[in-house]
Structure 1
Amino acid sequence: MPAHKSKKRKVDRALDSGPDTSRPSAIFKPAGSRTFTLSLALPGSIIANALTHDQKTSLVGQIARACAVFCVDEIVVFDDGQAETRAPEQGGYTAFADPNFFLYHVLTYLETPPNLRKALFPMHPDLRTAGALPSLDMPHHLRSEEWCEYREGITLQTGKGKNPQTIVDCGLAQRVAIPAAIEPQTRVTVKLGEPSPDGSTILGQAVAPESPREEAGYYWGYSVRQASSLSTIFTECPFDGGYDLSIGTSERGKPLKSILDKQSPAYVEPTWEHLIVVFGGVSGLEAALQADRELQSAGVRQAEDMFDSWINLVPNQGSRTIRTEEAVWVGLTGLREAIDARRSR
């Protein structure tokens, strides 16, 4: 028998006895309710520094992928005053006219389950190549044959009368009926129940978008909001009590390990409820502070004074600069230990 045929059979046997790698196996498994949240803030000016539409779109895709991988619950796109904005171009194109909105727009599109995008996002020049970006494939991006007690859907029609029902398309073979009157073409989070008596629909309940996380521990994607300045990241926080732990990133900060080391005076106890990590643009968070009139009038002169921790993600970095999209990956990787410690409490 030729040697090469013998080797091929041995390789085939080895593959047959190994794990099946033909499809992803890292399926998110909820581990009970989760009340704490992880937020990330970054300036839209990073879009202005990318030269072409494709580069701008790819940059957003990198950030969205990082947030999906590390289970970020909220993204805040803030205006650091470092990018010029003007009226949108013909057709509403904002990549060059309003980079803050462009970042917000594409991030929101990518978070939306693919089966809902066509209904929720009309044709728009901002999104013309967004569909070619790598999929986020988050737990709420469910296939039609996959079952989960929660699903995202879009309302189709609402009945009238004393007890109105709304029919929702959740990407299943059957429509879902919920006992509430909701405007058509509205995205809604649904908790699924039993099939209706006649089997024509599945009965469900409309729930808050955070219910899958708070009730069952699912990672259910991220919300996106815009902030007009550095200070409004905090003053417009949607969580009761605000962010109880804020981390600013800067090459002039303390090493990241200082907040992870229990022996360090800068150690952060894993008792927080709402953590936000804030990244600067090309000119750093110091430039965002200088552009913020509210902070200037309040006498805030040092950016680090705004945060509970002021950290350097990569001490002794080999490159003069770390791009914001790189810093997001590095930062979320470095903070994973702190987040896991909070999760295990």
Structure 2
Amino acid sequence: MTSKIPPSFFVLLPSSLVTDASDLRQKTLKIGSIGRVLAMFRVGKVCIYYDDDSHLKNQASEVEVISTLLRYMETPQYLRKLLFPRTKELRYAGLLPPLRTPHHPLADEKTSPGDYREAVVVDAGKRGSLLELGIRERGFTSEKLNVGERVTVRLGKSLGEGKRAIERVHRSEVGEYWGYEVLRAKTLAEALKVLKADYIIGTSRYGKNLYEAVQAIRSSNPRSVAV
């Protein structure tokens, strides 16, 4: 008997998410807590959409703060300096809690052949590409990649001269929770189209009680659920 594959879990967040916070420091703390929850529940995608809130003066700025901090949290620490320039949104990034997810290994973790790591391309030419792996060796592949691109790789054997053979893979091949992807949308309707979830759970006085709908959701065996 084969076990059912659990559905992918998506979350939609409005641009008004942290409007109740008095300043950037408080917003950072609140978003940090949200990022931890996203990782705890193994959310695969989070989409931030522009909210119809008359009290929100600058939606673009709010979306930028939320998305930047969530992406920063999801990125392994050894890659952050390569991917994030200093910006005002990251002023209090030091207050963000660590996720401690499988793709955020400690210095002595996931360093053997066959292990997976996140990497960033630091150099590329005719002979191939060099990648930062967060270990003593740089990753090398004969595939020409784009400098600055973040990729998931499988570690191979050591090549000597400070290089390690790597193979680029899709994160779905890893077999364990590998972080969340941050998306943006102009409206809630657009966000739902972007996520393409089989089941959507929202709040409305016209909707069914969630507990009444649980059985129907389970029996349909959805591949993805958006909340």
Q: TM-score range by the shorter chain?
A: 0.7 to 0.9
Structure 1 residue 158, shift from structure 2 partner: 1.5
Counterpart among 169, 180, 183 of residue 207 in structure 1 = 169
Counterpart among 136, 141, 145 of residue 173 in structure 1 = 136
Structure 1 residue 256, shift from structure 2 partner: 2.9
The corresponding residue for 1:276 is 226
Whether the aligned pair in 1 keeps the contact of 2:12 and 2:49 (CA below 8 Å) is yes
1:179-328 to 2 correspondences below 5 Å: 179-196=142-159, 198=160, 200-208=162-170, 210-211=171-172, 215-237=173-195, 242-250=196-204, 253-260=207-214, 262=215, 266=216, 268-269=218-219, 271-277=221-227
The corresponding residue for 1:73 is 44
Ranges in structure 2 where 5+ consecutive residues have no aligned partner: none
Whether the aligned pair in 1 keeps the contact of 2:136 and 2:162 (CA below 8 Å) is no
Distance in structure 1 (CA, Å) of the matches to 2:42 and 2:152: 18
Structure 1 residue 183, shift from structure 2 partner: 2.6
Q: Residue type matched to 2:62 in 1? A: P
Distance in structure 2 (CA, Å) of the matches to 1:176 and 1:267: 43
The corresponding residue for 1:324 is none
Structure 1 residue 56, shift from structure 2 partner: 0.9
Distance in structure 1 (CA, Å) of the matches to 2:22 and 2:90: 17
The corresponding residue for 1:7 is none
Q: Residue type matched to 1:153 in 2? A: A
Q: Does 1:84 align with 2:34?
A: no
Distance in structure 1 (CA, Å) of the matches to 2:124 and 2:217: 53
Spell out structure 1 runs of 4+ moving beyond 4 A.
32-35, 250-253
Distance in structure 1 (CA, Å) of the matches to 2:165 and 2:208: 53
- RMSD across aligned C-alpha pairs, in angstroms? 2.4
Name the CA shift for 1:35/1:181 in 2 (closer, same or farther; >3 Å): farther
Deviations 1:52-98 (A, max 9, x none): 22211111111101001110010010112215344xxxxxxxxx862
Ranges in structure 1 where 5+ consecutive residues have no aligned partner: 1-31, 87-95, 278-345
1:5-20 to 2 correspondences below 5 Å: none
Whether the aligned pair in 2 keeps the contact of 1:154 and 1:186 (CA below 8 Å) is yes
Whether the aligned pair in 2 keeps the contact of 1:144 and 1:173 (CA below 8 Å) is no
Q: Residue type matched to 1:235 in 2? A: K
> Counterpart of 1:269 in 2: which secondary structure?
helix
Whether the aligned pair in 1 keeps the contact of 2:12 and 2:47 (CA below 8 Å) is yes
Distance in structure 2 (CA, Å) of the matches to 1:138 and 1:44: 26
Structure 1 residue 251, shift from structure 2 partner: 6.4
Give the paired residue count.
Answer: 221
Q: Residue type matched to 1:74 in 2? A: K
Deviations 1:21-65 (A, max 9, x none): xxxxxxxxxxx9968411000101122222122211111111101
Q: Residue type matched to 1:234 in 2? A: L
The corresponding residue for 2:123 is 157
> Counterpart of 2:18 in 1: which secondary structure?
helix
Q: Does 1:140 align with 2:68?
A: no
Name the CA shift for 1:251/1:64 in 2 (closer, same or farther; >3 Å): farther
Distance in structure 2 (CA, Å) of the matches to 1:184 and 1:166: 8
Q: Residue type matched to 1:64 in 2? A: G
Q: Does 1:63 align with 2:34?
A: yes
Distance in structure 2 (CA, Å) of the matches to 1:33 and 1:72: 18
The corresponding residue for 2:19 is 48
Q: Residue type matched to 2:198 in 1? A: D
Q: Residue type matched to 2:46 in 1? A: I
Output the TM-score relative to the length of structure 2.
Answer: 0.87
Structure 1 residue 167, shift from structure 2 partner: 0.9
Whether the aligned pair in 1 keeps the contact of 2:119 and 2:152 (CA below 8 Å) is yes
Whether the aligned pair in 2 keeps the contact of 1:166 and 1:180 (CA below 8 Å) is yes
Structure 1 residue 236, shift from structure 2 partner: 2.4
Which has the larger share of strand? 2
